[in-house]
Amino acid sequence: MTRMPARIFAALLASDSGALTSAQLGEQLKVSPAAVSGAVRYLNQQHMVSREREPGTRRDLFRVHDNQWYEALTNRDSILKRWEDSLREGVRDLGPTTPAGRRIGETLAFFEFIQVELAAMMDRWREHRKTLDLD
């Protein structure tokens, strides 16, 4: 993650409510509204924060998700699947016995492995989370 999204994310994570307005983020971090806007757009695309309306106002409120690391990793699932599909196509087009096809095939095998391990790890996390006093 680049510096500004990391700073915004850290500010949200460290806030008591887990949510701040753009103005609050800008003031706390001493950055421009444009810097906040670009950073929260990136974080929103990564499913790490959500944008909602502050009740009774027209101001946006940016909120870090509860259990946000789980959410961020879970949302990577569709990205990994798209990469796998593209890699599978590359192996097919180049041929699995060519040097390039073998390299792409190994990358595909890695992503398939990660996909299985990530799913199992998320299952273990859900079970472990039940044992914690987080709610």
CA proximity to 66, closest of 108, 18, 110: 18
What pLDDT, in 10s, does the model give residues 89-122? 999 999 999 999 999 999 999 989 988 898 898 8
Contact present, 18 and 26 (Cβ < 8 Å): no
- Residue bearing the bigger pLDDT, 22 or 134: 22
d(CA 71, CA 75): 6
10-68: pLDDT as tens digits: 999 899 889 999 999 999 999 999 999 999 999 988 878 988 887 788 888 999 877 76
Q: Would you state the pLDDT for residue 122?
A: 85
Tokens 């196509």 -> residue: 89
Q: What is the DSSP string of 59-114?
A: -EEEEEPTTHHHHHHHHHHHHHHHHHHHHHHHHHHH-TTSHHHHHHHHHHHHHHHH
How high is the pLDDT of residue 135?
62
Give the Cα separation of 78 and 17 in Å (integer).
30
- Position 81 pLDDT exceeds 70: yes
Predicted confidence at residue 21, as pLDDT, reads: 94
Does 8 score more than 80 pLDDT? yes
> How far is the C-alpha of 30 from the C-alpha of 45, rounded, in Å?
23
Tell me yes or no: is domain 3-64 CATH 1.10.10.10.
yes
Residue, of 70 and 10, whose pLDDT is higher:
10
